[in-house]
Chains A and B, each alone.
Chain A
């Protein structure tokens, strides 16, 4: 479990004010400052601290994969030995087409897989080729694998915390 940072009431107000997005104005941090009744310098200092402590991963744009032509996305899942998973997970995570890579628990007997790697491609053939590269990298360490394609987005709102 990751260590939590202490957030005060103004940090929380800043998170609530920005979780929908950053203002599209020449001085966005000044806009937030005016909304929150804080100085712009304080808003910027707090955001920088949230970034430095990892509460904010990054500030940036999240593209819609489908709009960029990455219409195929596969959750590739792998059964690898627990004793080797960290080295294998790091190697898989370094592949350029892998956007998320995690060690997760198995749920036997239904689910034997412990390494999850999300793979994106412009076609299902491209995803299959990428999955083939992961299989080649894991070699005999992989005992079984599967690819779960997403066929429908049922909901996508992202994180929302209360005000």
Chain B
């Protein structure tokens, strides 16, 4: 990743324009050609420097729901449980964290009723009790890490 890649990432953490030629508009601000911006984005996506490029959806505004949940998984059973949790399509991310609650995942469903159903499926598939931590209030959500 070079200096221009970093400038591109920082420029694109804000709002990408909605117009006929949005890449050209951003490229002009960066002092490069539109095709160079497009090529670099394609490369950074291919190399996984970027996990995605496009609209970020707020699932609750679509009538759906997001919930953070956790399991306390016995170490010897960790791989089996990880596979069982990851197999559920409602699981958007899943991380191992170092705590008694050592598996933390986010469920995304198209309706709020989908959440208890997904939790029930996970409990049955893993044989473990799932702890749900729905957000009661959001104070801040923004990626603002400098590249």
Contact = CB atoms under 8 A, between A and B. Distances in A.
Partners in one complex: yes
Contacts of B64: 4, 161
Nearest to B91: A155
Contacts of B62: 4-5, 7, 15, 55, 161
A44 B18 contact: yes
B145 A99 contact: yes
A111 B136 CA distance: 16
Contacts of A146: 99
B59 interface: yes
Contacts of B54: 18-22, 59
A59 B55 contact: yes
B68 A60 contact: no
Contacts of B134: 104-105
A64 B51 contact: yes
A57 B110 CA distance: 17
B1 A101 contact: no
Q: Which secondary structure characterizes the binding site on chain B?
A: mixed
Interface residues of A, number: 79
A24 interface: yes
Contact of B68 (A3, A22, A104): A104
B142 A99 contact: yes
Given A56-B58, A62-B52, A62-B56, A154 B135 contact: no
A10 interface: no
Contact of A148 (B1, B59, B104): B104
A19 B89 CA distance: 15
B59 A159 contact: yes
Given A64-B49, A110-B131, A160-B89, A59 B42 contact: no
B38 A26 contact: yes
Interface string B16-34: 1011111110000000001
Interface of A: 1-5, 7, 15, 18-22, 24-30, 40, 44, 47-48, 50-51, 53-65, 67-68, 70, 75, 85-86, 89-90, 92-94, 96, 98-105, 107, 110-111, 116, 120, 146, 148-162
Interface of B: 1, 8-9, 12-16, 18-24, 34-35, 38, 41-42, 44-45, 47-64, 68, 72, 82, 85-86, 89, 91-101, 103-105, 108, 110, 112, 131, 133-145, 147
Smallest CB-CB A-B distances: 5 pairs: A93-B140, A4-B63, A93-B139, A61-B12, A89-B139
